[in-house]
Amino acid sequence: MKALVLESYMNLQYEDVPSPAINEDEVLVKVKAVGICGSDVHGLDGSTGRRIPPIIMGHEASGVIQQTGTGVANWKIGDRVTFDSTIYNPNDWYSKHGMYNLSDGRIVLGVSTEEFKRNGAFAEFVAVPQHILYRIPENVSFTQAALVEPAAVAMHAINISPFKASDVVIVLGAGMVGMFVVQLLRIKGCENIIAVDLDAH
């Protein structure tokens, strides 16, 4: 398959690589849309140390199931899906208390550290465990579905921030997540929203 591989810091190569193998509880997803996270940008330049090359980045994506593992029962070839960026243990204490983002030994798609490496979705295909898949409704496009992960990040930020609709709310940072925060605040009834960013655009 074709993939965009971070071969070394600031050096992305579009090249042929083997398609990922899937184990029994995984599916192979043919990628239709993938976002570029701010963390991918900071992985590209090496500033976070969480994209140790070589790595295929990309964790905000959507696509179609191309192949299913032998233990996959509830998903089939052709299903339109998006997925969580975090691969967690569904049975540990954190996951059972709704905090799977803190799950012991969790790994992240498209991320490599000293502890783990997992290729992501800047490629034709990506291997995804079935327990992190979400079905895409027919009226949601692949591009929209690839935005679900950052939209969820924005929703979480709002859920943990106490405010009243009558408050003046300041959003620091007007990148993609910040823009989602602004839109979600408006849905929540906020009328006085100020977004701040250093970027002239």
Residues that bind Zn ion (CB under 5 A): 37, 39
Backbone phi and psi for residue 44, each to the nearest 5 degrees, phi listed first:
-55, -45
- Any idea of the CA torsion for 6, 11, 17, 23, to the nearest 10 degrees? 0
Distances from the Cα of 106 to the Cα of 57, 64, 114, 128, 199, angstroms: 17, 24, 13, 14, 34
Pick the closer one to Zn ion by CB: 75 or 134. 134
Least distance (Å) between residue 91 CB and Zn ion = 25
Q: Nearest approach, Cβ of 12 to Zn ion (angstroms)?
A: 17
**DSSP assigned state of 51:** B
CB of 39 to Zn ion, least distance (A): 5
> Shortest distance, CB of residue 153 to Zn ion, whole angstroms?
7
Cβ-proximal residue to Zn ion, closest one: 37
Judged by CB, which is closer to Zn ion: 148, or 169?
A: 148
